[in-house]
Chain A
Amino acid sequence: MKNAKKRILALLLALACVLGMAACGGQNTDTEAENAAEETTEATDSAAEESDGAEETAEAVDPDAEIVLAGYRNLAPGEKDGYYCSKILYVWEPLVTQDENAAPVPCLAESWEMSENGTQWTFYLRQGVKFHDGSDFNADAVIANFDRMKMGVKSSSFYPLDIDSHYPNLESYEKVDDYTIRLTFSQPAPTQLYNMVNFGSAIYSPNCFDENGDFNGICIGTGPFKITENKLDEYVLLERFDDYWGEAAKAKTIRVRVIPDADTRFSALKSGEIMGVIDLNAIPTSLAVELEGDDNFALTTTKSTMIRFLCLNGTQFPFNDVRMRQAVSLALQRSVITEDLYDGFGTPTTNILNYSTPFYKEFPVEEDMEKAKELAAEVLGDERVTVTYLYNGSEAAQKGEAELIASWLSEIGIDCELMPMEMTNMKEQMKTGDYGIARMQQGLSNSEPSTIFRRFMLTSGDQNQNYSLGYHSDEVDALMAEAESALDMDVRTECYNRIQEISTQEFPVVPLFNDVTLMAYNTKLTGYDAKLYGIELPLVAWAE
């Protein structure tokens, strides 16, 4: 009996232990989590109440109520990120930004001029601009930002902060007067403005850098919003900056939550927990289609800088023959791919250049199976050829796409062995030249197209070699050299036009379609319009 009592005691102890652990685990985080939680619940509740109220009595809208949005990743990765947060939060501003056609327009730099030989750029800075900490924006602040960039490349989840890529051939930078700076380059740099757009010329208050050029806390910019709280992996809280030099933001506070899972994000949007989704991959097309026809929600789209294409191994038979590459392009029914597989969210193209840049030239997308068969027969004769077709296994739609493309290619005598792969492995295999077709994509880092031409079409281009494209054209090499030395924008544009034309004839890669950036929001909001890079957050507000 005594033994039994002992055992019961032990059992109780064990249970107490387990429960204790449970309680402790809870308590540890409770205190800090609850503080945040209270805020979150309060905030979301008030937002929810707000929206509930709006449903019943249309006029009861508090314009200052918090707006909750969500994206899949941290839009403010914090101190260790070269930019602290993405441009789309409107916390920092660049010297040069872009308009709807991706052409450079003034932001913190009011105007600029290039010297006649193209090696000197003078920027006249906007006056009366204040940083969030109250300090003045002036030439000293800009020079401090250049000094920081000079310290070395800083990695970022957006674009690397690299002075050599944003300011190639920069020799020196100097303050001319309090509101003027001058950049001197060792080579003519007529398209320098394109390199400086947005991420290329982000400006922060020098007070937020430590001695290594990293952020010493929340970043301090000049934008219409300032960050008041940044809880990594949970949310970032933005507040309207009342001393903003331009038109003040419409919303008082915006909370941008991190919800990594697309389905959860969609549910949160449908339940009214969040009012909109932002950033890349905001909403998969398959879910977006569900929102069409629902009055409570709206979609907003814009051109994306991403282009999808097929790489053909030009170092080997049969794709070392340009006729075979042309045949592949002619055999594809691109509109079937975009309409049936991507619900219409894509634009067919044969141009290697993405359609978001002002240099983009439109070419008709030619589809002609008979012509494709003829061209292929010239190369293959009566034989058929078997090639491996690599695609990214983690993108669900690519499998169906590969099957569809393989069925068309089989008509022109190409049998594809489909192989789903992990991206890094795939790139390694492509480098060794052991493949026939590979499905890839490429983003355009700025609207100056020379990067894309250089990387894919120059004989020495890195992607030309990494992907074993085997592309070589004396004409393109010469055109690129001509464009680079041309000071006249028209000459440059002409070169670029011709290169694009060549790309649609010789197919260094076979383009499929340009992506569409897609975002969704609750119609209780207004001003939620997709822009080339994110949405214009300062215009977002509660609908009346």
Chain B
Amino acid sequence: MKQYLIQKLISLLPVLFGISLLAFVLGILTPGNPAELVLSQGGYEPTPEQIAEMEEQMGLDAPYPVQYLRWVGRVLSGDLGTSYSSRNPVGEELMRRLPVTLKLAACSILLTVVFGIALGCTAAAWQGRLPDRVIQALINVQLSFPAFWLALLMILFFAETLGWLPTSGTGGPRYMVMPSLVLSSASMATAARLTRSALLEEFGKQYCTAAMARGIGRWRLVVRNALPNAVVPVIAMLGNSLGGMLGGSIIIESIFALPGIGSYALAAVTNRDYPALQGYVLLTGFIYVLITLLVDTLSMLLNPKVRLGGKKI
């Protein structure tokens, strides 16, 4: 167990290196001189002397590998740089906004777990009959609707027409309903579909046939016997979705005016605020890796077969 974890952690190092390299290269590849960008925020026209001075100040005259190492050094000491547009430390801004994104992702994953698995179980229990067909149709709709469109439709319907929910902003649970429903829509459908097919596979196994032969109720069979076996792939999928939600909330956050890291990234793109973008890429990459690690560990706990190399437990 310990060994497995250590092995996992070591294998993550190249990934983290890759993410940091990618984030750094992002700043280099982008058009425009960073020194000029810093100075020209808000329409100011800097003179060539000012630009040269800023270049020196920012250390842009050093070769790229040196710049990279300096940058990594600063990042490791917690300094993600200063945003071009707001002049605030990027780390501070991300931390201020992260709770909003985490809250949104948490609500979405909760909806995914609860509704995804429930829908999957219902569909499997009534396979081929009306509930199954209704749920299948729903899944197809959920999977094929682009999130931003769904978001606009929901705002139009629930906020503008019916006035039940606020269109946007932060506040109590009411403010989270639409964003988390939209964000979880696709993953909820995937979870339902996965649960359904995994359950059906379990139903075909002998222990289920035996249980059914003994007259066990449909729901009891699903919940007590088959689901624990069927849920492993769903957990793995949830991990991926959570990562996707953290990164994929960009559009949703800006539509619903949620001040999370996603809308920050979008504003950074519009303002050509590269330190902010680098920080965002680094942070989300890091969180994604962390979640993958967590999910792997969980899967291992849930299913000994997942453990490495088929070693003895």
Contact A26 B159 (CB under 8 A): no
Q: How many residues of chain B get a CB closer than 8 Å to chain A's CBs? A: 55
Q: Is B256 at the interface (CB under 8 A from chain A)?
A: yes
Instruction: Name B's interface SS.
Output: helix
Contact with A along B92-136 (1 / 0, CB 8 A): 000011011011011101100100000000000000000000000
5 cross-chain pairs, A with B, having the tightest CB-CB distances, nearest first: A25-B106, A37-B171, A233-B259, A160-B44, A22-B106
Q: Is B181 at the interface (CB under 8 A from chain A)?
A: no
Chain A residues contacting B167 (CB-CB under 8 Å) are: 259, 264, 267-268, 271, 273
Return the chain A residue nearest B84 by Cβ.
Answer: A155
Alpha-carbon gap, A232 to B142, bound state (A) = 34
Contact A40 B169 (CB under 8 A): yes
Return the chain A residue nearest B163 by Cβ.
Answer: A271
Q: Is A7 at the interface (CB under 8 A from chain B)?
A: yes
Closest chain A CB from B63 CB (angstroms) = 23
Contact B301 A424 (CB under 8 A): no
Q: Known: A260-B257, A271-B167. Contact between A34 and B152, CB under 8 A?
A: no
Alpha-carbon gap, A7 to B225, bound state (A) = 11
Alpha-carbon gap, A259 to B228, bound state (A) = 44
Alpha-carbon gap, A200 to B105, bound state (A) = 44
Chain B residues contacting A439 (CB-CB under 8 Å) are: none
Contact B155 A263 (CB under 8 A): yes
Chain B residues contacting A159 (CB-CB under 8 Å) are: 42-43
Contact B102 A34 (CB under 8 A): no
Chain A residues contacting B107 (CB-CB under 8 Å) are: 22, 25-26
Closest chain B CB from A354 CB (angstroms) = 15
Chain A residues contacting B160 (CB-CB under 8 Å) are: 267, 270-271
Q: Is A28 at the interface (CB under 8 A from chain B)?
A: yes
Chain B residues contacting A462 (CB-CB under 8 Å) are: 45
Alpha-carbon gap, A271 to B87, bound state (A) = 36
Return the chain B residue nearest A214 by Cβ.
Answer: B87
Contact B257 A257 (CB under 8 A): yes
Q: Is A536 at the interface (CB under 8 A from chain B)?
A: no
Within 8 A of B (CB), among A271-290: 271-273
Q: Is A29 at the interface (CB under 8 A from chain B)?
A: yes
Q: Name which of A4, A10, A81 has the most chain B CB atoms within 10 A of its CB.
A: A10
Q: Is B283 at the interface (CB under 8 A from chain A)?
A: no
Return the chain A residue nearest B300 by Cβ.
Answer: A10
Within 8 A of B (CB), among A226-285: 232-235, 257-261, 263-264, 267-268, 270-273
Q: Known: A29-B103, A264-B257, A273-B167. Contact between A8 and B42, CB under 8 A?
A: no
Chain B residues contacting A8 (CB-CB under 8 Å) are: 228
Within 8 A of A (CB), among B226-259: 228, 231, 235, 238, 254-257, 259
Closest chain A CB from B65 CB (angstroms) = 26
Closest chain A CB from B43 CB (angstroms) = 6
Residues of A within 8 A of B (CB): 4, 7-8, 10-11, 13-15, 17-19, 21-26, 28-30, 33-34, 36-38, 40-41, 44, 77-78, 80-81, 153, 155-160, 162, 232-235, 257-261, 263-264, 267-268, 270-273, 422, 424-425, 428, 443, 445, 462
Q: Is B69 at the interface (CB under 8 A from chain A)?
A: no
Alpha-carbon gap, A27 to B272, bound state (A) = 33
Contact A424 B272 (CB under 8 A): yes
Residues of B within 8 A of A (CB): 31-32, 41-45, 85-88, 96-97, 99-100, 102-103, 105-107, 109-110, 113, 152, 155-156, 159-160, 163, 166-172, 174-175, 228, 231, 235, 238, 254-257, 259, 263, 266-267, 272, 298, 301-303
Q: Known: A22-B109, A159-B43. Contact between A259 and B159, CB under 8 A?
A: no
Task: Indicate which residue in B32, B45, B170, B298 contacts A234 across the interface (CB closer than 8 Å).
Answer: B170
Contact A234 B169 (CB under 8 A): yes
Contact A11 B302 (CB under 8 A): yes
Chain A residues contacting B175 (CB-CB under 8 Å) are: 37
Task: Indicate which residue in B163, B235, B254, B257 contacts A14 across the interface (CB closer than 8 Å).
Answer: B235
Chain B residues contacting A33 (CB-CB under 8 Å) are: 99-100, 103, 170-171
Return the chain A residue nearest B97 by Cβ.
Answer: A233
Extra 20 A-B pairs, beta carbons < 8 Å, given A18-B113, A25-B107, A36-B171: A11-B231, A15-B113, A21-B106, A25-B102, A26-B107, A29-B100, A29-B103, A41-B172, A41-B174, A81-B86, A81-B87, A157-B41, A233-B259, A258-B257, A259-B257, A260-B254, A260-B263, A264-B256, A267-B155, A268-B159
Alpha-carbon gap, A528 to B44, bound state (A) = 31
Alpha-carbon gap, A209 to B106, bound state (A) = 41
Chain A residues contacting B301 (CB-CB under 8 Å) are: 10, 13-14
Closest chain B CB from A198 CB (angstroms) = 15
Task: Indicate which residue in A28, A260, A445 contacts B43 across the interface (CB closer than 8 Å).
Answer: A445
15 A-B pairs within 8 Å (CB atoms) are namely: A7-B302, A25-B105, A25-B106, A25-B107, A26-B106, A29-B100, A36-B170, A37-B170, A38-B172, A81-B87, A155-B44, A157-B42, A257-B257, A268-B159, A428-B32
Return the chain B residue nearest A235 by Cβ.
Answer: B169
Chain B residues contacting A10 (CB-CB under 8 Å) are: 301-302
Alpha-carbon gap, A33 to B175, bound state (A) = 11
Contact B31 A424 (CB under 8 A): yes
Alpha-carbon gap, A263 to B259, bound state (A) = 17
Chain B residues contacting A25 (CB-CB under 8 Å) are: 99, 102-103, 105-107
Alpha-carbon gap, A215 to B174, bound state (A) = 35
Alpha-carbon gap, A239 to B235, bound state (A) = 50
Alpha-carbon gap, A22 to B111, bound state (A) = 10
